[in-house]
Amino acid sequence: MSDTADMPTHGLARGCYRFREYHVTTAPDPLALPAFTALCVTGEERNCGATSGALHTPDELTRWIAEHCAATGHQDYEQTVRAILRAEPGAWQ
């Protein structure tokens, strides 16, 4: 095993990189419907795993959860909301 602590450092390239920021704003795509899903995570040793599938309104999601809860007594759910966003580029700074 060689000790390189005493080796000269001349000849090694060093650099400093500077990055500019690119400002982007996002807005929901008005032509795309959002998607709401729920996953039942009730269970002690494993999750129930029942899923609502993609629904397009919060009311549809709440209805699915209420029906699943009434049928099974399960009370814990993971919610996912997905939307298509449109990037609106700004200027470099």
Domain hosting 43: range is 35-92
| Percent residues over pLDDT 90 in the chain | 56
Who has greater pLDDT, 4 or 18?
18
Who has greater pLDDT, 12 or 58?
58
pTM, whole model, 2 decimals? 0.64
Whether 82 is in a domain gets the answer yes
Whether 73 is in a domain gets the answer yes
Whether 45 is in a domain gets the answer yes
The tens digit of pLDDT for each residue in 8-22 reads: 555 566 666 666 666
Whether 39 is in a domain gets the answer yes
pLDDT of residue 7: 53
Number of structural domains found in the chain: 1
Whether 48 is in a domain gets the answer yes
Task: List the structure tokens of 42.
Answer: 């009730």
CA 39 → CA 4, 12, 51, 65, 81, distances in Å? 56, 55, 4, 9, 12
Q: What does the CA dihedral 14, 20, 21, 22 come to, rounded to 10 degrees?
A: -120
Whether 68 is in a domain gets the answer yes
Cα separation, 15 vs 60, whole angstroms: 56
pLDDT of residue 27: 85
